[in-house]
Chain A
C-alpha cells in the first residue's frame, strides 16, 4: 500500500510538471516585482502555497506558490530515492546529488520562513544596538524610570490590526485599539474634515485628523502606519484619554499613570542585539573625475559588554560583517555621506545553500568518476 503511494509520488511526470511550474512562477514573480516591489512579490509568489488573483469580489488561486511547489518537489524526490533508486555503491554519487538538491529546496523554504530582514542606520560618531524592520511597526510603552536601562513593552502591528482590547501584565494600563490604519496621512485640523476620524482627546493627536490611504507596496514608498487607542486604567477602569500614534509623529508622547511617566510611540519594529555598533567613518569613493561610485565603506567599532569583544572592522561592498547569525551588508547612505545604512539579514541557516552545492558537486564528481572507471574497466575487458 505505502509502496504504491510512494511509486505514484515518485513519478517523473510530477517532477517535470513541478519544475515547469517553478519556471513559470519565477518568471511571473520576477515580472510582478515591477508593480508590487520585491517584498510583496516575494510574499505573493514564492513564500505562499497558492498565488491568488482577484476576479471581482472573489480571490481565486490561479497558480501554486513557491512553498507548495517546494513541498511537492521534495516529496517527489524523497519518494524517488526511497522506491526507485538502487542503494548500491555505484549509485552513491547519484544519491548524494539528489540529497544535495533536497537540502537546497527544503533549506530555501525554511530560510524564507525564518529569515528576517531589517535595516540599521547610524550617523558617524553614534552607536546603535538595534536594527529596524522597513514594513512592520510596533506600539511601544517605555518605562524610563531606571537610570541604566529602559523597559520596553512592545505590541506588534499584527495585534493592533485586530482592533481589540489588549491586556498584558507588563502594561501599566489596558489598551483599547479603536482604529488601526496600515497607511494614513496626518494633517492639522480643521482641514479636510470630510474624513471622519475617531475623536482624539490627548496631546498632538487632538489637533489632527487622519486620512486613510491605500497601502504602498513599492519598495521606495513608506507606509505611515497610524493607530488611535484609548488607554484604560487597570484598577479603576477609568479612561486615560484617546491617543493618536503614528510613524509620522517622530517623538514619543508621555502618559502619566499612578505618578509614573511612560513614553508611548509607534515605531518600526526593532530587533535588539547584545552588541553595539559605532560608526567611526563612512566613505563614498568615486572614480577620479567622475560621479561613478567606486566603493562604499563603513569603519565601525563592535562592542559586546557580555563577551568583552571590542574590535574595529570595515564593512564594504561584497564584504559584509557576520555576527551572531546576522549579516550586515553595506546597503545605502544618507545625509551627505554622514549616515550609513546597513541591510541586516538574520538567517540562522545561511550556510545551507553552500553545503547543498558542495554535496551536489561532490555527488556529481563521484558519479562521473564511478562511470569513468566502469567505462575504463569495460574497455579493458574488451581489449583483453
Chain B
C-alpha cells in the first residue's frame, strides 16, 4: 500500500510540474551556417525576387528581408527590402521620414504628388518616391502586401546614382514575386 501511495505521489508531482523550463540555462552549440532562407517574418511577408547581376548581396538584418550593394562608376549605394507589419504610417509620414534622412524639411499632403508616382502593378498600388537632398538621394517604392507594408529603398550619396539606376530599380520592384 505504501509503495502504491509513493508511486501515485511521484506521478502526481509530474503532472503538476509540467514540462516548461523557467530557469536560465547555458549550453554550447555548433556554429550555424548563414541562413539560406528567410526567417518567419519574411515567410509571413511571402515575397521573393531575383536581383540584377551587378547588385551584390549584403546582410539581411533587423527587419530587412534582404539588402544589396550597388557599385557604379566608383559610387556605392545600397538597396534594402524591408517588411513592416500593418500600415506603418501614411505615405506622407514615410516621405517626410526619408526627407529628414537626407537633410530635407517636411512637406505637406498637397506636395506629396510632386515626389510620388503611383503605379498599378498586378492589381496593387505601388508608390515610387524619388528624393534628392543635400546629404544624399533616395529612390523608394512601397506597397501593401499580406497585412504588411513592403519598402524597397535605394539610398545613395549622389543624385546621379539614383537616376542611373532608376530603370533597373523599377524593373526589380516590378519583378518581385508576391504570394
Q: Which residues of the other chain, A, contact B24 by a CB distance below 8 angstroms?
A: 153-156, 159, 166, 168, 170-171
Q: Among A106, A154, A156, A185, point to the contact of B85 (Cβ < 8 A).
A: A185
B40 touches A222 (CB 8 A): yes
B19 touches A222 (CB 8 A): no
B18 touches A113 (CB 8 A): yes
A129 within 8 A of B: yes
A185 touches B11 (CB 8 A): no
Alpha-carbon distance A109/B24, docked complex (angstroms) = 27
Binds A, one of B55-63, B108-116, B131-139, B160-168: B55-63
**Taking A247-B40, A248-B63 as contacts, is the C-beta distance between A188 and B89 under 8 angstroms?**
yes
User: How many A residues touch B, CB cutoff 8 Å?
Assistant: 62
A272 touches B63 (CB 8 A): no
A110 touches B14 (CB 8 A): yes
Closest CB in chain B relative to A187 CB, distance in Å:
5
B28 touches A248 (CB 8 A): no
A191 touches B93 (CB 8 A): yes
B21 within 8 A of A: yes
For the A-B complex, the count of residue pairs with Cβ-Cβ distances under 8 Å equals 141
Q: Among A109, A150, A171, A247, point to the contact of B28 (Cβ < 8 A).
A: A150
**Taking A109-B15, A149-B31, A190-B97 as contacts, is the C-beta distance between A222 and B84 under 8 angstroms?**
no
Closest CB in chain B relative to A257 CB, distance in Å:
16
Binds A, one of B41-49, B73-81, B120-128: B41-49
Q: Which residues of the other chain, A, contact B93 by a CB distance below 8 angstroms?
A: 190-191
B89 touches A191 (CB 8 A): yes
Q: Which residues of the other chain, B, contact A339 by a CB distance below 8 angstroms?
A: 37
B4 touches A78 (CB 8 A): yes
B20 within 8 A of A: yes
B62 touches A249 (CB 8 A): yes
Q: Which residues of the other chain, A, contact B50 by a CB distance below 8 angstroms?
A: none
Alpha-carbon distance A291/B43, docked complex (angstroms) = 23
B26 touches A153 (CB 8 A): yes
B12 within 8 A of A: yes
**Taking A123-B37, A171-B24 as contacts, is the C-beta distance between A115 and B19 under 8 angstroms?**
yes
Alpha-carbon distance A150/B15, docked complex (angstroms) = 34
Alpha-carbon distance A129/B32, docked complex (angstroms) = 9
Alpha-carbon distance A154/B25, docked complex (angstroms) = 5
A22 within 8 A of B: no
Closest CB in chain B relative to A180 CB, distance in Å:
14
Q: Which residues of the other chain, A, contact B61 by a CB distance below 8 angstroms?
A: 250-251
B23 touches A159 (CB 8 A): yes
Q: Among A127, A136, A147, A186, point to the contact of B33 (Cβ < 8 A).
A: A127
**Taking A251-B60, A272-B29 as contacts, is the C-beta distance between A186 and B85 under 8 angstroms?**
yes
B29 touches A187 (CB 8 A): no
Alpha-carbon distance A248/B85, docked complex (angstroms) = 9
Q: Which residues of the other chain, A, contact B39 by a CB distance below 8 angstroms?
A: 250
**B12 nearest in chain A by CB position:** A71
Closest CB in chain B relative to A202 CB, distance in Å:
12
Q: Which residues of the other chain, A, contact B36 by a CB distance below 8 angstroms?
A: 123, 125-126
Assuming A110-B11, A115-B19, what are 4 further A-B pairs, CB within 8 angstroms? A153-B26, A204-B62, A250-B61, A334-B43
Q: Could you name 15 residue pairs across A and B whose Cβ atoms are closer than 8 Å? A: A71-B12, A126-B36, A126-B37, A149-B29, A158-B20, A158-B21, A186-B85, A188-B88, A190-B97, A250-B39, A250-B40, A250-B60, A251-B62, A335-B43, A339-B37
Closest 5 CB pairs of A and B: A191-B89, A251-B61, A158-B22, A170-B26, A168-B24
